Amino acid sequence: MFRSVLTLRAQPEQVDAVLQLFRDEGILQESFDKTRQISSDIAVAADGSGEVVITADWPDEDGYQEWLDHPDRNRASPQLEEILAGAEVGVGKLYRIDQRVQSGSSTGDPSRS
């Protein structure tokens, strides 16, 4: 399994507009519906710094590539760029998940299954 991570370093006053755009445009749901994505979320730094992190889990690298190549992926980019004027937008990065623990199961230690 893989996880994509995109970090937006917005100004604190930009965060609500970013979150509203994601809600209004259904960006997380769209990427889920149009690919083999497993899950996704958007989180805001609790310290009020304005940092926003968008993560998604994918079954494999090809699953993530499906979203990168999807013709609808950049549909909301102009609005996001307008909201984030002057903010630092990181480059999306893909990570291979090595271990995962969650309620009801564990995939970190095969002997515990």
Stated length of the chain: 113
For residue range 60-104, what is the model confidence (pLDDT) as tens digits? 999 999 999 999 888 888 888 888 887 878 888 999 999 989 888
The model's pTM: 0.84
- Which amino acid is present at 84? L
22-39 mean pLDDT? 94
Domains in the chain, start-ordered, CATH in brackets?
2-98 (3.30.70.100)
Distance of alpha carbon 66 from alpha carbon 69, whole angstroms: 5
Torsion sign across C-alpha atoms 16, 21, 24, 27 = negative
Q: Cβ contacts of residue 98 below 8 Å, gap of 6+?
A: none
Side-chain half-sphere exposure of 6, counting CA atoms within 13 A: 14
User: Which of the 8 DSSP states describes residue 32?
Assistant: H
